[in-house]
């Protein structure tokens, strides 16, 4: 039976529609296959990158132990700290790494001190010191006091705000006060009164170490741009400029003792604020490794905190950056 003309047209239309559907499915499948292949390749590259970053951690731990063995009583910067090292890798990539004294910072977790019953309360001396650091960095005095108190309320375990503090997060924050130690210094951005600009200003001087208590500052490993950390200890007696001069003009082998440092500062012993003298120590415990591995225009970074003891260097915390 011969099909009518209109029937032949309908059949042709059906065939064309089937061809279009099949072509669309094929294109979609090909796109998904391409994406899956790229994801698999990126996953493989990222895994290799993490292995190289792990190697950097091992090398840093060994070098830190060697550094400690050179002088068990003091930590000197030497050729290790503050120096960016670059290594060409067998796969054609490049590994860049830098080790810094990770204890030269204001420890946000020092804002609270332990109680006998296991709770924590705000440490008034640490709050005042943090406020002084903010002022040295150009923050208004009343605002600095409010932020320092709010940060202490964030980390202490009670629900009672300090006179200038608050037990509430800043407006728009997705997190309420933790009433627990800071896991990362960047968490300060959730504290009331801290804007993104202020966080960017103060973050280079902050850390969140795994324990509290006044953080020791080592003048032998400080970088000139870290001078406010020294001035913070005695803000009325030691300006940022004077602190920078003490760092830049220290002896080639570093200060022999904390007493020698304070003598070089020209500040009379009875004029040094209570507790400040004890915060200057020449033996460092915490170190930070910043490493980056790059290959084919992509890079993966990591920041690792190491705890150096007599038994060796132990990795306490690591944070990876995005593979990009």
In the CATH scheme, what is the code of domain 106-198?
Answer: 1.10.40.60
SS3 state of residue 268:
coil
| Cα–Cα distance measured from residue 192 to residue 176, given in angstroms and rounded to the nearest whole number | 10
SS3 state of residue 238:
coil
Report the candidate in 168, 162, 176 with the shortest Cα–Cα distance to residue 128. 162
- How sure is the predictor about 275, in pLDDT bands with cuts at 50, 70 and 90? confident
Evaluate if residue 31 carries a pLDDT over 80.
no
**Candidate from 26-35, 218-227, 260-269 with smallest mean pLDDT:** 26-35
Work out whether strand 120-122 and strand 94-101 pair parallel, antiparallel, or are unpaired: unpaired
Question: What pLDDT does 151 receive?
Answer: 93
Evaluate if residue 166 carries a pLDDT over 60.
no
Q: Tens digits of per-residue pLDDT, 118-160?
A: 677 888 999 999 999 999 999 999 999 999 999 998 888 765 5
Question: What pLDDT does 235 receive?
Answer: 93
Residue 271 or residue 12, greater confidence: 271
Residue 2 or residue 46, greater confidence: 46
Evaluate if residue 307 carries a pLDDT over 90.
yes
SS3 state of residue 35:
helix
The residue behind tokens 């570093």 is 254
In the CATH scheme, what is the code of domain 40-102+285-320?
Answer: 3.30.1300.30
Asked whether the CA dihedral 308, 312, 317, 319 is positive or negative, the reply is: positive
Q: Tens digits of per-residue pLDDT, 183-213?
A: 999 999 999 889 999 999 999 999 999 988 8
The residue behind tokens 């029937």 is 7
Question: What pLDDT does 274 receive?
Answer: 81
Question: What pLDDT does 167 receive?
Answer: 47
CB-based contact 118:224 (threshold 8 Å): no
DSSP assignment string, 104-143:
SSEEGGGGEEE-TTS-EEE-HHHHHHHHHHHHHTT--HHH
Would the pTM of this model clear 0.95, i.e. be above it? no
Q: What is the mean pLDDT of the chain?
A: 83
The tokens describing 238, both together, are 């030691």
Return the domain boundaries, the chain. Answer: 40-102+285-320, 106-198
Average pLDDT for 51-69: 90
The tokens describing 127, both together, are 């709050």
Give the contacts of 82 (CB within 8 A, at least 6 positions apart): 98, 99, 100, 221, 223
SS3 state of residue 266:
coil
How many Å separate Cα 207 from the centre of its chain? 6
**Candidate from 31-35, 129-133, 264-268, 279-283 with smallest mean pLDDT:** 31-35
Evaluate if residue 243 carries a pLDDT over 60.
yes
* Class of residue 101 by CB neighbours under 10 A (exposed 0-12, middle 13-18, buried 19+): buried
Question: What pLDDT does 172 receive?
Answer: 47
Report the candidate in 78, 164, 176, 182 with the shortest Cα–Cα distance to residue 128. 164
Q: To which H or E segment does residue 230 belong?
A: helix 227-231
What Rg value do the Cα atoms of the chain yield, rounded? 28
| Cα–Cα distance measured from residue 256 to residue 217, given in angstroms and rounded to the nearest whole number | 15
Q: How many CB atoms lie within 10 A of CB 130?
A: 28
Residue 125 or residue 170, greater confidence: 125
Report the candidate in 88, 48, 83 with the shortest Cα–Cα distance to residue 63. 83
């Amino acid at each position: 039976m011969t099909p009518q003309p209109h029937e032949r047209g309908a059949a042709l239309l059906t065939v064309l529609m089937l061809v279009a559907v099949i072509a669309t499915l094929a294109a979609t499948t090909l796109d998904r296959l391409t994406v899956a292949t790229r994801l698999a390749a990126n996953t493989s590259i990222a895994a290799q990158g993490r292995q190289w970053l792990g190697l950097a951690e091992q090398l840093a731990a060994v070098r830190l132990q060697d550094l400690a063995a050179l002088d068990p009583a003091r930590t000197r910067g030497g050729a290790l700290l503050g120096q960016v090292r670059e290594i060409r890798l067998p796969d054609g990539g490049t590994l860049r790494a830098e080790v810094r004294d990770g204890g030269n910072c204001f420890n946000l977790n020092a804002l609270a001190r332990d109680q006998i019953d296991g709770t924590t309360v705000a440490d008034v001396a640490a709050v005042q010191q943090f406020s002084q650091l903010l002022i040295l960095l150009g923050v208004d005095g009343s605002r600095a006091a409010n932020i320092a108190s709010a940060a202490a309320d964030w980390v202490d375990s009670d629900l009672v705000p300090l006179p200038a503090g608050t037990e509430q997060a800043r407006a728009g924050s997705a997190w309420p006060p933790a009433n627990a130690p800071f896991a990362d210094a960047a968490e300060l951005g959730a504290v009331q009164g801290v804007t993104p600009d202020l966080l960017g200003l103060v973050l280079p001087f902050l850390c969140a170490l795994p324990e509290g208590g006044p953080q020791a500052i080592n003048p032998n490993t400080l970088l000139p741009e870290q001078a406010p950390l020294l001035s913070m200890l005695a803000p009325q007696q030691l300006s940022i400029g004077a602190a920078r001069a003490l760092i830049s003009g220290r002896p080639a082998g570093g200060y022999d003792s904390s007493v020698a440092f304070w003598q070089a500062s020209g500040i009379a012993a009875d004029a040094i604020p209570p507790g400040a003298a004890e915060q200057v120590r020449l033996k460092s415990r915490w170190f930070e490794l910043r490493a980056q591995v790059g290959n084919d225009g992509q890079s993966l970074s990591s920041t690792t905190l190491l705890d150096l003891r007599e038994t060796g260097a132990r990795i306490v915390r690591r944070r990876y950056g995005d593979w990009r």
